[in-house]
Amino acid sequence: MDHLEIFKALSNKTRLDILNWLKEPEANFPGQEAEGFQHGVCVGQIWQKAGLTQSTVSEYLSILQRAGLVKSTRVGQWTYYQRNEETFQVLSRLVQSEI
């Protein structure tokens, strides 16, 4: 749990947006409804919604993952990302009492 790495990951508008979108995949990624959201949302859906290039969003997802804020699952040729709520809980407590 590297505070600094987490805060850096959270220091970007687009990355905050992505985390927020992932709170409600059904509402924010209707394009993936057919496939379902068991493992989260695939990269293609996210980068189109973000309005940035595929490479940038892929990098952003890596940054979020290294910080522990999301986790990924590979299914066939798709990689699905979802929030790692545990980290948010721990971070919340940390902000309250340790920082």
**Interface contacts to a copy of itself, rule CB under 8 A:** 3-4, 7-8, 10-13, 16, 19-20, 88-89, 91-93, 95-96, 99
Binding partner selected for residue 1 from a copy of itself, DNA, none, CB under the kind-specific 5 to 8 Å limit: none
Q: For residues 3-62, which are near DNA according to CB under 7 A? A: 8, 11-12, 14, 42-44, 52-56, 58-59, 61-62
Rounded CA-CA distance 99/95 in Å is: 5
